[in-house]
Structure 1
Amino acid sequence: MPTSASPTRKIAAIGAVLALVVAVIAIGVAVGKAVENGRDTAASPTAPGAASVAPQEDAGQQKLYDDLAARTSRRTAGDPLAVGKPDAPVVLVEYADYQCSFCGKFTRETQPALVKKFVDAGTLRIEFRNFPVFGADSERAARASWAAGRQGKFWQLHDELYAETRKGDALAEDKLVELARTAGVPDLAKFRDDLGGPAAAAALKKDQDEGYQLGVQSTPSFLVNGRPIAGAQETQVFEQAIEQAAAQAGKSGKHGGAGAGK
């Protein structure tokens, strides 16, 4: 009698679980889809039936989330698009678009509370991914945020962009330069060059490719140590997910991950 499943059956089982998680992400994040053709098109993230934190999973599903976290959590020291210790036990990865009103809601209402409660305590690291889904204006804003990061001002420009919902011409290059000035970007000529340069395009493509490979289709979309959260949920939903992930990390003895401290 064989002592383990055949390789074919193992591959089939892994494929089925991966398909399940991709479906969870693709369906769940749909409640956070926002700002298309000049108006919000998404259901409220707090609407009845909206997905939030998944219930406790079995060991196989937990391993899958651990694997997803290892794939998506970059943990690069000095990453200008991240805040928090590289070896923090929990990493929240956000895929967002600068024309997305629910992304702005998360930035204004939830992220500051998470930074104060978890990032400052060394429990959480937040890593931002530029995932523009609303066309050229969103892509330009994404490149601008990356360019600001080259001068250590990513989060300052990020917060300016999300201070209100900006669409279309509000994200023209000249407007972005003025926002960069307000955000304290010191060298605006370099900012313009970086915004339009090949390195910005490559960085944007890297983030987009990562999201598409996971099945992300709309924004905002989040992974908390590999576990998906749908849309800009209430702050307590994120707090619960972070606390669960921290407890799981402590139980498994995992603090930090691949790439920590780079």
Structure 2
Amino acid sequence: MSTSHKTTSTRLWVMPTLIVLGAVIALVAVFFWGRSTATTEADSQPPAAQQETEEAETVPPEIVEQVIRRDAEDPLAVGQTDAPVVMVMFSDYQCPFCGRWTAETLPEMQQFVDAGELRIEFRDVNMYGEDSRRAASASVAAAEQGEFTDYHARLFDGGETLDGFSAEALTDIAAEMGMDTDQFQADMDSEKTAEIVQTNEQLGQELGATSTPSFIINDTPVVGAQPADVFIDAVEEALANTQE
């Protein structure tokens, strides 16, 4: 694939037509905003109670079409583009709950990814500001060298967010992983990366996904670092629905 074709394909999905969503986006914002308080209260409940709390409404199909991309050029995704179930994760690299989910639940989801049943698309909302935005840019740069999954996990440092996201610290991690640091820095500062980061951030804000982590699994929203069983059940239910 030529560089010009790849750039054109990337721009097709990094410039979503958010203007046409209007009132429909507001409906999904209600799902996320309204459920964030319930999720906070559910953190102190046993897993069964949390799962009941997170029994979610269905996201309108107009929103699903905008949120789930299935684009082969999406650098922040794992799994086959034609997987029957797609999970979109809205997160922030400075969010400890996102780190916990990445350490404890993401490995459980990998079984579905490996089986070709699940695709996971990551969207950084950068609600904590410039450090989060810089880390999101670094994850895109790592993805350009085929190292997104491992770099993504390293930024969460095994479930605990790193203390600093300076450009130097982020580049040092890339160097430790054996990446081309000159290319890494160039990609981190590129216009293409800036567009990807800005578009994902804007989408999360428009949808009201300011409580991280927040998820959409096919057409079902889930808020919070719920136990792995909640996500396993949601994926299995979505798989069953696609076979009906």
Band of TM-score, shorter chain: 0.7 to 0.9
Following superposition, the deviation at residue 213 of structure 1 comes to 2.0
Q: Distance in 2 between matches of 1:166 and 1:18?
A: 30
CA offset digits 1:48-97 (Å, max 9, x no partner): 3754232xx6xxx57x2x43322211111253311111111110000111
Higher relative contact order at CA 8 Å, sep ≥6: structure 1 or structure 2? Answer: 1
Amino acid at match of 2:185: R
SS in 2 for 1:223: strand
1:22 aligns with 2:29: yes
Correspondence for 1:201 among 194, 199, 223: 194
Correspondence for 2:123 among 113, 129, 137: 129
Correspondence for 1:240 among 228, 233, 236: 233
Q: 1:44 to 1:154 in 2, by over 3 A?
A: farther
1:220 aligns with 2:213: yes
Amino acid at match of 1:21: V
Q: Distance in 2 between matches of 1:47 and 1:70?
A: 34
Q: Distance in 2 between matches of 1:140 and 1:31?
A: 30
Contact 1:30–1:217 at 8 Å: present in 2 too? no
SS in 1 for 2:137: helix
Superposed counterparts of 1:157-172, under 5 Å? 157-164=151-158, 165-167=160-162, 170-172=164-166
Q: Which has the larger radius of gyration?
A: 1
Q: Distance in 1 between matches of 2:110 and 2:152?
A: 15
1:146 aligns with 2:143: no
Give the RMSD, CA atoms, in angstroms: 2.3
Contact 2:142–2:174 at 8 Å: present in 1 too? yes
Q: Distance in 2 between matches of 1:196 and 1:44?
A: 40
Contact 1:29–1:218 at 8 Å: present in 2 too? yes
Deviation above 4 Å: which 4+ runs of structure 1?
17-20
Q: Distance in 2 between matches of 1:110 and 1:104?
A: 10
Please give the TM-score of this superposition, normalised by the length of structure 1: 0.75
Following superposition, the deviation at residue 123 of structure 1 comes to 1.1
Q: 1:142 to 1:234 in 2, by over 3 A?
A: same
Superposed counterparts of 1:73-112, under 5 Å? 73-112=68-107
Aligned residues: 217
Amino acid at match of 2:101: F
Task: State the partner residue of 2:44.
Answer: 47
Q: Distance in 2 between matches of 1:18 and 1:191?
A: 35
Q: 1:190 to 1:22 in 2, by over 3 A?
A: same
Following superposition, the deviation at residue 161 of structure 1 comes to 0.5
Following superposition, the deviation at residue 227 of structure 1 comes to 1.2
Percent identity, aligned pairs only?
Answer: 39
Please give the TM-score of this superposition, normalised by the length of structure 2: 0.81
Contact 1:97–1:138 at 8 Å: present in 2 too? yes
Structure with greater proportional helix content = 2
SS in 2 for 1:134: coil
Q: Distance in 2 between matches of 1:237 and 1:173?
A: 36
Structure 2 segments unaligned to the other structure (5+ residues): 1-21
Structure 1 segments unaligned to the other structure (5+ residues): 1-13, 33-42, 252-262
